[in-house]
Structure 1
Amino acid sequence: MKRTPPQKQWLARPLKTIAWQSVGDRVPYWVETDSYDAEAFAHLCRDLPSLRAAEATGQKFLPHFSALLFDLYALLYKATLVFRPPEQVLPSAFFHKALLDAIVDAPAFEALRLQTVLDERQSGLAALTLGERLLGLLKSERLVNRAQMLDFWALHHQETELRRIEEEARSARELVEQFPEARRSHLAPLSERLHREAAVLQRNLAWRARDAEKAARELLERQGSHLHAEVGRTAVIVHDAQQQLQQWPGHWGGTSGDSVGLQIELGKKLAENPRLQKLARLVGRMRTHSWALRRRVYERASEETHAVVQGSDWSRLLPCELVALRHPWRRREFRRRLLEGSLLQYELRGQQRRSRGPMVVCLDVSSSMSGDKEIWAKAIALTLLDIAQRQRRLFRAICFSGADQPLFEIDLNPRQRYESEPHRVLEFASYFPGGSTDFQKPLDAAVATLQRAEYRKGDIVFITDGECAVDPAWLQQFRDHKQRLEFRLLSVLIDVGTANTNVLRQFSDRVTSVRQLTAESGADLFLAL
Structure 2
Amino acid sequence: MLGNQSLEQYLGIGLDALGTDPIDNNIDIDKYDRRSFKELKEASSEIGNLLEVKAEDGKSLSKAWSALLRDVWSTFYKILPELTDAEKVDTPYKSMRPMIERLLEDQETAKTRITTMMDEMAAGLATIGAGKKLLEEVQKREELNQALQKADQAIDAQEQGDSSAAGTLAEEAQSLLQQAARDVTRAVREAVEEARAQANQAEQAMAGWGLESADMQNMPLGDRLNMARRMCTPNLKRLADLVGRMRNLARAKQKERVDKNRDEVHSITVGNDLGHLLPLELAALSQPARKSDFYRRYNEHQLLQYDLKTKEKVGRGPIIALIDISGSMGGNPLEWAVAVALALADTAARQKRRFMVAFFDTRVKLTMEFEPGEKSPEKLMQMATVGAAGGTDYKPALALALKTIQDVNYQKADVLMATDGLCQVDSNFLNVFLEEKKRLGFRAWTVLIGGYRPDDNMKVWSDEVWPVRALTDETAGEIFEKVY
Q: TM-score range by the shorter chain?
A: 0.5 to 0.7
- After superposition, where does 1:300-449 map in structure 2 within 5 Å? 356-364=316-324, 376-389=336-349, 392-400=352-360, 407-412=365-370, 414=371, 418-424=372-378, 426-428=380-382, 430-436=384-390, 438-440=392-394, 442-449=397-404
- 2:183 and 2:350 map into 1 onto residues whose CA distance is 58
AA aligned to 2:27 is V
- 1:56 and 1:301 map into 2 onto residues whose CA distance is 67
**2:72 counterpart residue number:** 72
- 2:465 and 2:229 map into 1 onto residues whose CA distance is 38
Give the deviation of 1:397 after TM superposition.
1.8
**1:325 counterpart residue number:** none
Alignment of 1:490 with 2:444, yes or no, is yes
**1:313 counterpart residue number:** none
- 1:499 and 1:43 map into 2 onto residues whose CA distance is 57
Instruction: Number of aligned residue pairs: give it.
Output: 400
Gaps of 5+ in 1: 1-22, 164-197, 303-350
TM-score (norm 1): 0.55
Choose the corresponding residue for 2:108, options 108, 111, 131. Answer: 111
SS in 2 for 1:411: strand
**1:458 counterpart residue number:** 413
**2:297 counterpart residue number:** none
Instruction: Determine what percentage of the aligned residue pairs are the same residue.
Output: 15
SS in 2 for 1:82: coil
| Aligned partners of 2:154 and 2:165 also within 8 Å | no
- 1:301 and 1:504 map into 2 onto residues whose CA distance is 42
**1:235 counterpart residue number:** 196
Gaps of 5+ in 2: 1-18, 54-61, 267-310
- After superposition, where does 1:170-249 map in structure 2 within 5 Å? 199=161, 228-239=189-200
Deviations 1:363-415 (A, max 9, x none): 34567667765564345334433554465431112234x569x8332222x2x
| Aligned partners of 2:321 and 2:358 also within 8 Å | yes
- 2:471 and 2:229 map into 1 onto residues whose CA distance is 31
AA aligned to 1:480 is V
Give the deviation of 1:283 after TM superposition.
0.6
Give the deviation of 1:52 after TM superposition.
4.9
- 1:370 and 1:140 map into 2 onto residues whose CA distance is 44
Deviations 1:75-127 (A, max 9, x none): 34566753664983474x6796586477569xxx4234234269725796255
Change (3 A) 1:208 1:410: farther
- 2:264 and 2:343 map into 1 onto residues whose CA distance is 23
| Aligned partners of 1:459 and 1:489 also within 8 Å | yes
Alignment of 1:287 with 2:251, yes or no, is yes
| Aligned partners of 2:79 and 2:118 also within 8 Å | no
Give the deviation of 1:292 after TM superposition.
1.2
- 2:430 and 2:134 map into 1 onto residues whose CA distance is 56
Choose the corresponding residue for 2:122, options 122, 125, 131. Answer: 125
| Aligned partners of 1:446 and 1:460 also within 8 Å | yes
Alignment of 1:31 with 2:32, yes or no, is no
| Aligned partners of 1:94 and 1:212 also within 8 Å | no
Measured on the aligned residues, the alpha-carbon RMSD in Å equals 5.6
TM-score (norm 2): 0.59
